[in-house]
Homo-oligomer: A and B are copies of this chain.
């Protein structure tokens, strides 16, 4: 297929590479244009604007940092909507507002363009390996058309409802991990203060109700008090903001997620925003 990929960050660049490797004809665009170069070397065409990238494409995959960025590259001047033909498809892998997603999808539909929200989980490792978990929202036909494209970048693809449903699912994911990161961090800090043998403790805890991906994969960061990426605190905080907005709209109080968001604000203010989100363990350790 003729595809465009817009947004070549930590997640978007490996996605573009997987699409090239799967035999698609790929045009790339990124706001910071140098990021297009490695993809061009791998066989992609380059375009000066989102509209120009979309002009040659049957489907456009977007992967940007936040809701305003997405609105800009889709609906702004020289945006995707100006370039993409009627009958085309937008697949958005960004993590953005569910409500804004539904609005963008409605505006694209007026132009005959389909949209699938397809936010991902699995981090940079998952993007590199093409094994992302993908939460999809959109009309059944559009999600089916997106299928072969998503298969090239992910391994677990679930259609959860209409436009925005994928974003709600991603928000739920970010809420669920918030409390786990926070209290795994608190538990490790308590154990450390008490002088327990920490690796042995984690092994013992992993057999029971405290078992989690976070305990298994991120407690070592907390034990050594070093937080290499991973997934940035600042991005998780952004995602929690989306989730809290959505929850407020739905009348769902999420006091624990809100508290973790406040803690992450403190980490960002203290200069730890670029560390992995397991850095929430700094708070009970008082090392900020």
Contact = CB atoms under 8 A, between A and B. Distances in A.
A74 interface: no
A193 B249 CA distance: 10
Nearest to A197: B160
A177 B206 CA distance: 11
Contacts of A207: 121, 133, 156
B257 A160 contact: no
Contact of A177 (B172, B178, B183, B251): B183
A186 interface: yes
Nearest to A231: B209
A201 to B, nearest CB: 6
Contacts of A204: 133, 135, 156, 158, 160, 169
A67 interface: no
A123 B98 CA distance: 39
Contacts of A184: 176, 179
A243 interface: yes
A286 to B, nearest CB: 7
A205 interface: yes
A284 B253 contact: yes
A121 B190 contact: no
Interface in A124-183: 126, 133, 135, 156, 158, 160-161, 165, 168-169, 171-173, 175-183
Most chain B CB within 10 A, of A175, A196, A204, A254, is at: A204
B256 A193 contact: no
A251 B189 CA distance: 10
Interface stretch (A19-27, A39-47, A81-89, A212-220): A212-220
Contacts of A172: 187-188, 190-191, 196, 201, 205, 210
10 contacts: A121-B209, A156-B204, A158-B204, A168-B194, A172-B191, A176-B210, A183-B260, A209-B213, A212-B213, A256-B260
Task: Give me the 10 closest cross-chain CB pairs, A-B, nearest first.
Answer: A179-B183, A179-B179, A212-B212, A193-B250, A158-B204, A172-B187, A121-B208, A182-B256, A176-B187, A186-B254
